[in-house]
Amino acid sequence: MFPTAIAGSLPKPAWLAETGKLWPKWQGEGAALAQAKLDATLLWIKAQEDAGLDVIGDGEQSRQHFVHGFLERVDGIDFEHKVEMGIRDDRYKAMVPQVVGPLRLKGRVHETEARFLRLHTKKKIKFTLPGPMTIVDTVADRFYGDRVKMAFAFAELLNQEALALQADGVDVIQFDEPAFNVYMEDAAAWGVQALERAAQGLTCKTAVHICYGYGIQANNDWKKTLGGEWRQYEKVFPALAASSIDQVSLECIHSHVPPDLMALLKGKDVMVGVIDVASDEIETAEEVAQTIGRALKFVPKEHLIACTNCGLAPMGRAVAEAKLRALGEGAALARQRLGGGT
Ligand code: ZN
């Protein structure tokens, strides 16, 4: 009852990369950097287990950014000549690589860290990949000239890697699609289909994470413009409910998402965000249990997974560790109180 998981990313230790940044520079290079990435992964596996979490992730310690980590292993992308582009409907500017030719995987993308994760925990493991629509929104296209065509091209590559991750022993493969909350019509029209293409043939659990972004200033400012009720999910949830995707990760605590929108995900596992990533204040177990209680009005017990609202990458390490513990303790309290036994 109420298993716990993180959305995906966790802060990188200061000896691995710059802290507090979305695109942090690595501290080392070559073999030393490769080892440091795995050392940091091990540290976060332990922290998640100590916090009592049920589904363990690699905390995305081996990639600089959740989208660009994948793109680095794709042929047809010029990583040398990044250009500045407004992303997420121009909410903020980012330096993005350019698509300059047909897309093809250079080989495996996340084999090392996925196998490392599988080796170092006996719990279920989740691995995250960027979703096709969000990738399309985080690169500059100089080749395809068509967002949908390019999204399906990326979906094929994602599918290749996802099938390989499943063979590595991954239990849950999650695609991150914050762009679904920005281009709602497109998400319903073709984004969900591209996502299903990326998940095609997977027999492990499949998930999609849709959020209002990391707790960075540009996102906090954007949220202030969204009004008293955030109804973005309303447009895409029906398409997701009808899709082959098993689990949906969404924001809940401290957001203005009307909780009844969760009822649109009938039949799906719902990863309810019970940990805020836009505030350093640590949730109490009580608060987490109450958020789970509110979600239970719209999500059946057996379908509720307690999760973070989004990744914790730009946060301080101690804050992130404390939030993981709050997640574990809060879900335990909810199990006791609302689960009908332990
Ligand atoms: Zn997110």
Got the DSSP string for 112-181? HHHHHHHHH-SSEEEEEEE-HHHHHTTSEESS---HHHHHHHHHHHHHHHHHHHHHTT-SEEEEE-GGGG
> Helices 30-50 and 317-338 meet at what angle, rounded to 10?
30
pLDDT tier at 21 (50, 70, 90 boundaries)? Answer: confident
C-alpha to C-alpha distance for 282 and 275, rounded to whole angstroms? 8
What's the CA-to-centroid distance between 188 and ligand 1, angstroms? 19
Ligand 1: centre distance to CA 209 (Å): 6
Q: Residue 180: what pLDDT?
A: 96
Per the model's pLDDT, the better-predicted residue between 169 and 314 turns out to be 169
- Any domain includes 66: yes
Residue-averaged pLDDT of the chain: 95
Q: How many angstroms separate the alpha carbon of residue 104 from the centre of ligand 1?
A: 26
Joined together, the tokens standing for residue 103 give: 């897309």
| pLDDT tens sequence across 295-318 | 999 999 999 999 999 999 999 999
Residue 64 belongs to what domain range?
30-70+111-134+145-338
- C-alpha of residue 36 to centroid of ligand 1, in Å: 25
* Span from the CA of 50 to the centroid of ligand 1 (angstroms): 23
- Ligand 1: centre distance to CA 98 (Å): 23
Q: Which of 175, 255, 216 is nearest to 7 (CA)?
A: 175
Q: Residue 340 C-alpha to ligand 1 middle, in angstroms?
A: 31
Mean pLDDT score, 4-18:
97
**Ligand 1 geometric centre to CA of 30 (Å):** 29
pLDDT at residue 20 above 90? Answer: no
Cα 334 to ligand 1 centroid, rounded to whole Å: 24
Q: Tell me how far the alpha carbon of residue 77 lies from the centroid of ligand 1, in angstroms.
A: 24
Return the pLDDT at 162.
98
Do the Cβ atoms of 241 and 279 come closer than 8 Å? no
Q: Give the CATH number of the domain where residue 216 resides.
A: 3.20.20.210
SS3 assignment, position 229: coil
Residue 196's pLDDT is what? 98
pLDDT score of 324: 98
When pLDDT is averaged across residues 313-327 and rounded to a whole number, the result is 96
Report pLDDT for 215: 79
Distance CA 18, CA 246 (A): 35
Q: How far is the CA of 31 from the centre of ligand 1 (A)?
A: 30
Say how many Å lie between the CA of residue 112 and the centre of ligand 1: 24
Query: What DSSP line would sit under 55-83, residue for residue?
Result: EE--TTTT-SSTTHHHHTTEEEEEEEEEE
As a whole-number percent, the residues of the chain with pLDDT over 90 amount to 88
**Alpha carbon distance 70, 198 (integer Å):** 13
The pLDDT score that the predictor gives to residue 218 is 86
Residues 264-292: b if buried by 16+ CB within 10 A, e if exposed: bbeebbbbbbbbbbbbeeebebebbbbbb
Whether the CA torsion 210, 172, 261, 288 is positive or negative: it is negative
Residue 220 has pLDDT above 90, yes or no: no
Positive or negative torsion for Cα 214, 220, 225, 231: positive
Ordered alpha helix ranges (H), the chain: 30-50, 68-71, 111-120, 132-136, 147-167, 184-186, 192-198, 217-224, 232-241, 285-295, 317-338
- DSSP label at residue 260: G
The answer to the question of residue 15 being in a domain is no
Spacing, Cα 277 to ligand 1 middle (Å): 9
pLDDT(342) > 60: no
- The strand pair at 92-105 and 74-87 is best described as antiparallel
pLDDT of residue 92: 86
Flag whether 5 is in a domain: no
Q: Is the residue at 269 inside a domain?
A: yes
pLDDT interval class at 22 (50, 70, 90) = confident
Question: Quick one: tokens of 184?
Answer: 């709602």
Inform me whether the pLDDT recorded for 341 exceeds 60.
no
Residue 23 lies in a domain: no
CA 203–ligand 1 middle distance (angstroms): 24
Chain centroid to CA 189? 22
pLDDT at 139: 95
For residue 309, how far is its CA from the centre of ligand 1 (angstroms)? 7
Q: Is residue 104 part of a domain?
A: no
Q: Distance between CA atoms of 191 and 194, rounded to whole angstroms?
A: 5
Distances from the Cα of 104 to the Cαs of 156, 164, 202, in angstroms? 9, 15, 20
What is the band of 66 on the pLDDT scale with cuts at 50, 70, 90? confident
Query: How many domains are contained in the chain?
Result: 1
Could you give the CA distance from residue 84 to residue 139 in angstroms, rounded to a whole number? 10
**6 occurs within a structural domain:** no
Q: For residue 341, how far is its CA from the centre of ligand 1 (angstroms)?
A: 32
Q: How far is the CA of 179 from the centre of ligand 1 (A)?
A: 10
Is residue 77 in some structural domain?
A: no
- Say how many Å lie between the CA of residue 65 and the centre of ligand 1: 12
* Residues with Cβ within 8 Å of residue 91, at least 6 apart in sequence: 182, 213, 218, 219, 222
Distance 176 CA to ligand 1 centre (A): 7
pLDDT tens-digit readout, 264-276: 999 999 999 999 9
Residues 6+ apart with CB under 8 A from 157: 74, 103, 104, 105
Residue range 81-99: average pLDDT?
Answer: 92
Digit-coded pLDDT (tens) for 101-154: 999 999 999 999 999 999 999 999 999 999 999 999 999 999 999 999 999 999
Mean pLDDT along residues 258-286: 97
Instruction: Report how far ligand 1's centroid is from the alpha carbon of 233 (Å).
Output: 14
Residue 12: pLDDT band by 50, 70, 90 thresholds? very high
